[in-house]
Amino acid sequence: MDHKRLLLPGFLSPELCKELIFIHKSCGVVGYRPHVLSTTLSHLVATNSAALIMPFIALRERVKEAVEEFFGCEFELFVEFTGLISWRRGANIGWHSDDNRDYLRQRHFSAVCYLNTYEQDFHGGLFHFQDGEPATVVPTMGTVLIYSANKENVHCVNEVTDGERITLALWFTRNSTHDEDKKLLDQLVNVMARIPVERGKLSVSLQEELRVQNAGISSQPSQGQEGSEVNLEDQPSPGNQNENLVTTNTVTKTPLHSCFVPLPASTNMYWVSESKVELKLGQDVGDGGASGNTSLEDDQGYYICVERLASLGFQCIEQLDVSDSTPDKPVKLRYQQQDIAYEFSNILHALQVVQFHEWRGSFPAYLQNMQDIKCDELNIVKRQRTSEYTNTCAPHHGRSPNLSSHKGTLETMITSWENHMSILWLELSQMLPAWRSIGALFSR
Ligand SMILES: O=C(O)CCC(=O)C(=O)O
Ligand SMILES: [Fe+2]
């Protein structure tokens, strides 16, 4: 039997891999099997994070071209599925081919893009082919593995024993009725139509201004940016006038803000069950759906967003009510026992902002600032009232440093995320008419 497969090391730049990891860590939900989380493009669109599909577009195109060239089927393929998948401790998949279910028969070719590296970011999780060469694929950041989805390429993934193994999985089909682009376009058109700011209201000059401001911001992520917000005061959008500028604590929210503040999906999609789930290995192949979801009642587990925030040192000031089916409530965070004054629109908004700064590496600067505030304040307090030293550190007690006094830092933290999102959002809204007319998602 022929085992047609291709390994392309360095196909993705480290920068793109990290950006995709940021998206997954900001938006991922429970995946299709235990210990697996996923972020599909349609999930991004459905959770008001449509702008985050932009970094995928050129990559999907490049991978499709590589698959078409290797298998000699130029201009014949459609992307059937695009999803970021992470495999956490305990995740594995037995021998299978990727088309091994009736509802997966349309999958003709597979491409797995490895976004992080074996033995650096996770342990276990090697990929093996049952027959032929290469027998084993070692996941390495930026490598793409391409193979046919049928029985020529039966494979498995060993159990991940530690860390988080993150991939971008793509499937391709010759069958146009399974074209992911058509479904995404329908979804995008619906979502963009509901956006409160009319695209037409964003004049060309304003868009230009935005670009210039953003160009400045992205090159200096850790500095105060006076006047960096998108101020639409002069161009109110109909039906939205009263909401044009909403000040929450120190940070001004603009109409654009409401375009891309994420909307969480239902709670059970973020609930990772830790109770035992019976599974027949080797039969359950990725469908990108949420069939790994389990009910909240009988389970031990954790809420993904809360866990992701906690792993970076953030807690929600008020505990999240996981019995609430839609966690779309304002959230405030605490970092190292200091309450952050800013009110995020919801837990997903908080997570996206935090992950954004983790990705950009701009946290150390902010945290350094926060650390300085803490030390200074504590020193003063310590000198004055030594006996109450511990109390001053405790949440809601004494004068724990209020970060709103460090307006520049906090404001920059929020607005640099907003600016990043607004660039993507504008790109998306500019591309959409062309995508609609062609019926496909493509890059410039
Ligand atoms: O992540 C990998 O290396 C392969 C995953 C896989 O086999 C699948 O999802 O079907
Ligand atoms: Fe597979």
Q: In this predicted structure, what is the pLDDT of residue 210?
A: 56
Quote the CA–CA distance of 189 and 185 in Å, as a whole number.
6
Burial class, 309, CB count within 10 angstroms (exposed 0-12 / middle 13-18 / buried 19+): buried
Q: For residues 185 and 41, is the Cβ–Cβ distance under 8 A?
A: no
Which ligand 1 atom is nearest residue 87's CA?
A: 1
Distance 140 CA to ligand 1 centre (A): 14
Ligand 1, atom nearest to 85 Cα: 1
Q: Which of 101, 109, 110 to mutate to test the pocket of ligand 1 (most atoms within 8 A of CB)?
A: 110
Q: Could you count the other beta carbons within 10 Å of the beta carbon of residue 186?
A: 13
Atom of ligand 1 nearest to the CA of 167: 1
What is the tally of helices (H) and strands (E) in the chain?
A: 11, 19
Nearest CA to ligand 1 atom 7: 156
pLDDT score for 253:
57
In terms of pLDDT, which residue wins out, 238 or 81? Answer: 81
- The CA 268 to ligand 2 mean position distance, Å, reads 25
- Ligand 1 atom at minimal distance to the Cα of residue 285: 10
Hey, whose CA ends up nearest to atom 8 of ligand 1? 286
CA pair distance 130, 9, nearest whole angstrom: 21
Q: What span, in angstroms and rounded, lies between the C-alpha atoms of 34 and 291?
A: 10
Question: For residues 134 and 219, what is the distance between their CA atoms, to the nearest angstrom?
Answer: 42
* Residue 86 amino acid letter: S
Of 79-88, 303-312, 348-357, 370-379, the range with the lowest mean pLDDT is 370-379
Token match 């989380």: residue?
A: 37
pLDDT given for residue 419 in this prediction: 86
Distance 177 CA to ligand 1 centre (A): 24
- Composition of the chain by helix, strand, coil, percent to 5: 40, 20, 40
Kindly state the tokens that stand for 306.
Answer: 């809360």
Topology of domain 5-190, CATH: Jelly Rolls (2.60.120)
Q: Which residues are bridge partners to 118 per DSSP? A: 122
Could you say which ligand is closest to the alpha carbon of residue 166?
1
Pocket test for ligand 1, best of 127, 129, 291 (most atoms within 8 A of CB): 127
* 37 within 8 A of 86, measured Cβ to Cβ: yes
**pLDDT score of 257 more than 50:** yes
| Separation of CA 155 and ligand 2 centre (Å) | 6
- pLDDT for the residue numbered 221: 34
Cβ atoms of 247 and 407 within 8 Å: the answer is no
Among protein residues, the one with the nearest Cα to ligand 1's atom 5 is: 157
**Ligand number with the minimum distance to the CA of 96:** 2
Residue with CA closest to ligand 1 atom 3: 127
pLDDT beyond 70 at 227: no
End-to-end CA distance of the chain: 40
Answer whether residue 211 shows pLDDT above 60: no
Q: 287: pLDDT confidence band, cut at 50, 70 and 90?
A: very low
Measured from CB, residues less than 6 Å from any atom of ligand 1 are: 93, 98, 112, 127, 155, 157, 167, 169, 285-286
Average pLDDT over every residue of 19-31: 97
Q: Are 108 and 77 within 8 A, CB to CB?
A: yes
| Cα 311-315-318 angle, rounded to 5 deg | 150
Q: What is the mean pLDDT of the chain?
A: 77
User: What is the pLDDT confidence band of residue 411, given thresholds at 50, 70 and 90?
Assistant: low
Helix (H) or strand (E) holding 302: strand 301-303
Who surrounds ion ligand 2 at CB < 5 A? Answer: 98
Query: Mean pLDDT, to the nearest integer, of 202-229?
Result: 44
CA of 289 to the centre of ligand 2 (A): 15
